[in-house]
Chains A and B, each alone.
Chain A
Amino acid sequence: MNKNRRFIIGASIIVAAVAYLVYTGIRETSVYYLTIDEFLSRRTAVAGEGVRVAGRVGADSMRWNAGTLDLGFRLANFDNTDGVNVQYNGVLPDMFAEGRDVIVEGTYGHEGVFHAKTLMTSCPSKYEAEVPHEAEAPRPAEAPKS
């Protein structure tokens, strides 16, 4: 019995460690995933925290500077009546274009602009396999934190 008890304690420590890692991991790294409508209705509430928003690239809104790699566009809802301005710096994803669906991840600044760190576009689906394409802004050139 004594040996068994030692075991249960040892195993419980590992189990507890895993549970703790998972719990804090979720809490610290998970990011809200909102549709553009949900985002627009509570943008001030989520300002400053990391968030992911799915919407559409507004017509006539794309401004791409190939020299500085700066991209600006309006992330609009599906009938293009409302939206938010997005700024991104980095490589333009392959499928990015006006009128296409896109998912942005980043933070909404209090000045009213969404600073995107990541853009995800998806192929116009003609067949079942749908593959999203991701592009990320570069991380700083020194070793990133784990």
Chain B
Amino acid sequence: MIEVGLLALRLALIAAGYAVLASIFGARKRRPDLVASGRAAAYVVHGLIVVAAAVLLRALLQHDFSLEYVAAYSSSTLPTNYTVAALWGGQQGSLLFWTLILTSMSSLVLLQNRDRNEALMPYVTATLMTTAVFFLGLLVFITDPFQRLPVPAREGADLNPLLQNYWMMIHPPSLYLGYVGCSVPFAFAIAALATGRLGDVWIRTTRRWTLFAWFFLSVGNMLGGRWAYEVLGWGGYWAWDPVENAAFMPWLACTAFLHSVMIQEKRNMLKMWNMVLVLLTFTLTIFGTFLTRSGVVSSVHSFTQSGLGPYFIGFLVTVIAVSVTLLVIRRPLLRSDNEIDSFLSREAAFLFNNLLLVGIAFATFWGTVFPVISEAVRGVKITVGPPFFNKVNAPLGLALLFMTGVGPVIAWRRASARNLRRAFVVPLAVGFAAGLILLAAGVRHYYALVCFSLAGFVLTTIVLEFYRGTRARQALMGEPPVTALAHLVNKNRRRYGGYVIHVGVVMAFVGIAASAAFRIEEQHSMKAGDSIEVGGYTLTYQGMRSSDTPHTASMLAEITVARGGQVLTTMYPEKRFYKRQQQPTTEIALRTTLREDLYLVLGSYDDKSGLMTLQVFINPLVVWLWLGGITMVLGTMIVMMPTAAEQRALAAALAVEERAFA
């Protein structure tokens, strides 16, 4: 069985290589038969990877400890769902999983475009398959998932306890869907550059893929944050860890691309910039995959020194070199038809939005790699931590929040005084009022004040948009308000879905600002029966409980939570000991309300003295971060639903292109 898996990987590598060569050669020499065989090869690669992944999965589920991978990442007592998750829990499995998603998406893209985009598709196939060749090369020659142990292990080392929770089932797959999803727009961009077809078609064709990738990157990042919050037990959700940054940077670049693309569609501008953004997004996904695997920068996730670093760097350099070369060659075709007329215009606002997003990505990138550069160049080891990222990204983030209110409502080309008044007077007034009210209420934390004022500003612009749009429909169509609103959103999914996403963004900013600025953190040493007062809660330690399973042994502190004399609930922060790895983990206890989270951590317990250390965090408004994430998800679903108008626009763009190249 294992031999089948090994063979499948090797054949897939060969088939992928063939697909690249046949597609490019077939396109250049106008041999449709070769192009078709390249396509067929791509489907074959997909099938072979499915086989390889199935073999590895079967080995995991059957506890075949003769395989090094199975012995390293699972055990016979590991629950089934985590055994499945072990497929992506280790180095080789995660690379195979990446490749599985890549080849699945390639097949889907080929199917979607079997009757379209004839000129572009060979290059799309070639680009996607080149990426597959890289990953398969790693799997076949460097990190073999089917490596056998010289002597089969009697039992497995088990999956890392920190990974044994349901987040492990959803966070990596989501993030991988996002990462790999960015390959599709990239492949189309390369194809557009290679063929010189630099109109709208490639953008419109890949719009839904870009949204899809962005959706999963957003979800993946949010899930990662929630996981850190619930499992790592340090009271927060984001530590600017290199691997967190690795997932954040592509998201930023992708967000920038989604926005600037609208400028190209509407006014045929920023073509070069759009290309650069797509290439940047893909490069950042590969860079992110590299960061997680090379151990170059130490982090929570690093699969440590794995020797893969140089290969990833090689691939990155190749991708950048090819992309830049193509960009330089096609520069004349990427010149825009129009210019930006005024600072006070939507084009300018979107450009500023882009610069801010890319600026945040740059700052994050620099902070992440600076320690490595500093050591290489000056021989001095330095660490760059959350203080840097917060200091730099907070003001940029606030500027971005401001632009979120400006961009959607300011006029195209040149905003008149009338447009500015109508669009901004009320929202600015609300924003200022919100700020003044909070100031009067005693809030002195400047960043939080600015953030909440801006939140008021942005929300008002969005509410006004919905209100004015609904009223206009009511007047024109004579529909009752709710129907008018529903039709409004339905006819204009991109715009109003986008507004819903922005509402989610505002909610997230509010949650982040409040939980960062007003958090309370305390530690207390308690004996059974002791009570403490924190943030208005009375916490009483009742005593230790314990529990035991074949897999784990636990100690739980029973804490009664009361407010104003009334008992609210009982919470059980826990210290869990995983028997196989002889490793303790902390399981937090969490009580969430719309106003704040009460977050308890059992620090330590001394048997002799009976003293327990309790860490208490109160995180105000943090649930709004997660609710904001969910809102963004809903908004994205609205935006992704296809409309007839969109199909027509794509058909029209295709027709224009065919005439141009006929």
Contacts and interface: CB of A to CB of B under 8 A. Distances in A.
Contact of A143 (B355, B396, B445, B601): B445
B518 A143 contact: yes
A11 B575 CA distance: 52
A45 interface: no
Contacts of A25: 363, 367, 388, 391-392
A7 B241 CA distance: 35
Interface in B566-611: 575, 581, 583-586, 601, 603-604, 606, 609, 611
Contacts of B601: 91
Nearest to B89: A129
B366 interface: yes
A32 B370 CA distance: 12
Contacts of A17: 359
Interface residues of B, number: 73
Given A28-B391, A138-B522, A141-B521, A91 B603 contact: yes
B340 A26 contact: no
Contacts of A3: 339-341
A138 B521 contact: yes
Contacts of B117: none
B583 A123 contact: yes
A17 B360 CA distance: 11
Given A26-B388, A30-B383, A69 B445 contact: no
Interface string A118-137: 00000101111111101110
Given A3-B339, A6-B343, A141-B522, A14 B356 contact: yes
Nearest to A129: B160
B523 A138 contact: yes
Nearest to A31: B383
A128 B370 contact: no
Given A69-B523, A91-B523, A141-B522, A127 B370 contact: no
A67 B609 contact: yes
Interface in A9-44: 10-11, 14-15, 17-18, 21-22, 25-26, 28-34
A26 B370 contact: yes
Interface in A65-91: 66-69, 90-91
Contact of B303 (A34, A68, A105, A129): A129
A52 interface: yes
A129 to B, nearest CB: 5
Given A21-B391, A30-B383, A130-B302, A14 B609 contact: no
A92 interface: yes
B351 interface: yes
A68 B355 CA distance: 50
Contacts of B402: none
Contact of A132 (B298, B392, B520): B298
Given A21-B392, A95-B584, A136-B234, A127 B613 contact: no
B322 to A, nearest CB: 26
A66 B391 contact: no
B562 interface: no
A94 interface: yes
B478 interface: no
A32 B375 CA distance: 11
B194 interface: no
Contacts of A123: 581, 583
A75 B525 CA distance: 25
A34 B90 CA distance: 30
Given A128-B72, A138-B521, A146-B394, A91 B381 contact: no
Given A95-B584, A132-B300, A146-B445, A66 B525 contact: yes
Interface string B376-400: 0000111111011011101110000
B339 A4 contact: yes
B296 to A, nearest CB: 14
A92 B583 contact: no
A18 B354 CA distance: 13
B351 A29 contact: no
Contacts of A132: 298, 300
B367 A26 contact: yes
B381 A32 contact: yes
Given A14-B359, A30-B370, A128 B303 contact: yes
Contacts of B298: 132
B606 A66 contact: yes
Given A25-B391, A126-B157, A129-B90, A94 B303 contact: no
B306 A128 contact: yes
Interface string B509-526: 000000011111111010
B388 A34 contact: no
A136 B413 CA distance: 52
Interface string B75-110: 000000000000001110000000000000000000
Nearest to B446: A146
B162 interface: yes
B75 to A, nearest CB: 11
Given A25-B391, A128-B72, A31 B382 contact: yes
Nearest to B239: A134
A38 to B, nearest CB: 8
B521 A91 contact: no
B302 A66 contact: no
Given A17-B359, A22-B367, A33-B382, 20 more contacts: A3-B339, A6-B343, A21-B395, A25-B388, A26-B366, A30-B383, A30-B384, A31-B385, A34-B381, A66-B613, A91-B601, A91-B613, A94-B575, A94-B585, A95-B583, A105-B383, A126-B157, A131-B162, A131-B301, A144-B517
27 contacts: A7-B340, A14-B359, A18-B392, A21-B392, A22-B363, A25-B363, A26-B388, A30-B370, A32-B380, A33-B382, A66-B604, A67-B611, A69-B525, A91-B601, A94-B583, A95-B583, A128-B72, A128-B304, A130-B304, A131-B162, A132-B298, A135-B234, A138-B522, A146-B390, A146-B446, A146-B516, A146-B517
